[in-house]
Amino acid sequence: MKQGIITVMALILILAPGCRNTEKADIVISGGKVYTADPLSLKAEAVAIRGNRILAVGTEKEVSKYIDPEFTKVIDAAGRTVLPGFNDAHAHFGPLDPDYIELRYVTDPAVITARVKEQVSHSQKGQLIYGGHWEHEMFTTREWPSKELIDPVSPENPVVLRRTDGHSALVNSYVLRESGITKNTPDPFGGEIMRDPATGEPTGILKESAMSLIRTGEIKVERTAGEEREREWRGYLMALKMAAGYGITSIQIPGSADFDMYDSIMAHGKLTCRLDIGGELTADPVRLDRYEELRQKYPSTGDWIRFGYLKDFMDGTLGSATAMMFEPFNDEPDKSGLPQMSYEELEARVLAGDRRGFQIGIHAIGPKANNWILNAYEKAREVNGVRDSRHRSEHAQILIEEDIPRFGALGVIASMQPVHCITDKRFAEKRIGTDRSRWAYAWKSLADNGARLAFGTDYSVEPLNPIEGLYASVTRKDRKGEEGDGWFPMEKITMEKAIEYYTLGAAYAQFMENRKGMIREGYLADITILSGNIFDIPEEMIMSVKADYTVLDGKIVFEREK
Ligand SMILES: [Zn+2]
């Protein structure tokens, strides 16, 4: 009898055709410069993927044995950079507006004409055509656009296209007419109607307060509930497509979002990004109960839609002078920021959330805001006991020197958005002075003092493109590549570290570093191939790097068209 069983088993082993294939890869990426973010082995030449996992990482020779010419898809990375998929640790991700004309990164103004024409073609007469994020400094002409660019394709629709900073807009003749703006209209206070130097006619560019003159006379489109739902669905898919196009495979949404919608997208097989969705920090036991239910339904052991952390706001922003400072702002000496709650309330909320085992992430821009939340997190350890809580400072933007080592000591994650540094530095120093700026966006000092860092974008405040964050981390220069060594260059980090915080660091911030964030055997196969070798190009070239492939859970979810 025993003999018989062994014979049958041996026969199965010999006959089963699948058995030999278990060592064959579905996908092999070869010929690239693989940066694994794995501290045990940071560099490799090739990666093999089977199912949703990484099968092997190593030299070309080591990985080539997993290639079955009839079975394996081989991607030739051709010297390009291969990375773990980007994980945006702080993005207000959600549906896009399907009718919004996105003009970011447009270099050829003719694209604007084409996009408006396309949108007009499926709009009704009189319906508003809108969009923005164009930047004429990026145009090959470097000239302000004018209404002539859009008039021929929009004779019967109002068009309003805002500049990337939102401080000026391009409108067509339809809008100028509806607004009553002519060559005789004076510039309003604090604004400018740009005019043709020869004729004095408005060019279609309205700056600052001149935008308040805009009257579109638009015709509102009535939609049925079904049409609205279809439109929203399309908006979500567009957003997911955008993320995949940037090489992003995971996003951590601060605060709440629509779990049901993402469930539905997942059920339709269209979820192309892993998502953490959170809740609002509260001391209310009933609301905490509700979050416990969500945590059970979307557990941290999952790999797709998971309940993230409880979010709160300690202060406002530097731009609006509401960041909490110990001393007043230099340029507004009567202000030192606006706490969003008392310290007692903060501590009560932190203690309640921590006691239930939730991770907590609090928006903290100013040094006093960061000091308070560190104090509250420290208190939670004293009262509730020390555990692997990984509470977070969302932004950790401006600190006092004494608080820098406390992040590491208390196990508090600095969840930072490097792009804020290069956007804000223009006015940061004016507002808080040089001494206080020294410890602003201080990612190098935080890391050197034992803090765990997680990088993100704060989309949609900033673009979702992670490349901008990498550029900001290593240069601390504005997007045009100003002269010099960068703003507080002692805080610059290497490209390797910047990528680590955008992959492994972000995975750690969501307790997933045991299966995500590195290219390591057995890890989830989330991989990005960039268009160039981002480690060896001059810094002024970094911003032009794009994602060429995005692999999520072992499947190619984005491939750039050639
Ligand atoms: Zn945010």
- Cα-based distances in Å from 76 to 61, 73, 81, 105, 552: 14, 10, 11, 27, 18
The answer on pLDDT for 480 being more than 70 is: yes
Rounded-to-integer distance, Cα 466 and Cα 474, Å: 13
Ligand 1 centroid to 89 CA: how many Å?
10
Q: Give the model's pLDDT for residue 22.
A: 53
- Cα-based distances in Å from 487 to 55, 292, 297, 423: 42, 44, 45, 11
Reduce the DSSP state of residue 403 to 3 states and report it: helix
- Kindly state the percentage of the chain with pLDDT values over 90: 89
Ligand 1 centroid to 92 CA: how many Å?
6
Ligand 1 centroid to 432 CA: how many Å?
21
The answer on pLDDT for 7 being more than 70 is: no
Ligand 1 centroid to 537 CA: how many Å?
31
pLDDT tens profile 266-314: 999 999 999 999 999 999 999 999 999 999 999 999 999 999 999 999 9
Ligand 1 centroid to 456 CA: how many Å?
9
Rounded mean pLDDT, 243-261:
97
CA neighbours closer than 13 Å in the CB half-sphere of residue 532: 13
Ligand 1 centroid to 254 CA: how many Å?
7
pTM confidence score: 0.88
Ligand 1 centroid to 543 CA: how many Å?
22
pLDDT tens profile 306-338: 999 999 999 999 988 899 999 999 999 999 999
Confidence of residue 344 (pLDDT cuts 50, 70, 90): very high
pLDDT tens profile 164-190: 888 899 999 999 999 999 999 999 998
Ligand 1 centroid to 279 CA: how many Å?
14
pLDDT tens profile 84-101: 999 999 999 999 999 999
Ligand 1 centroid to 461 CA: how many Å?
7
Q: Give the model's pLDDT for residue 63.
A: 97
Rounded mean pLDDT, 467-487:
95
Whose CA is closest to 527, among 40, 31, 48, 25?
A: 48
Ligand 1 centroid to 200 CA: how many Å?
43
Ligand 1 centroid to 410 CA: how many Å?
23
Ligand 1 centroid to 417 CA: how many Å?
9
DSSP structure class, residue 524: B
Ligand 1 centroid to 60 CA: how many Å?
41
Rounded-to-integer distance, Cα 143 and Cα 529, Å: 34
pLDDT tens profile 47-67: 999 999 999 999 999 999 999
pLDDT tens profile 127-141: 999 999 998 988 998
Rounded mean pLDDT, 489-517:
98
Q: Give the model's pLDDT for residue 316.
A: 92
Q: List alpha helices for 363-494, DSSP H.
A: 367-384, 404-410, 418-437, 443-448, 466-475
pLDDT tens profile 361-411: 999 999 999 999 999 999 999 999 999 999 999 999 999 999 999 999 999
Ligand 1 centroid to 533 CA: how many Å?
30
93 Cβ contact list (under 8 Å, min separation 6):
239, 243, 251, 253, 257, 275, 459, 464
Q: Give the model's pLDDT for residue 13.
A: 45
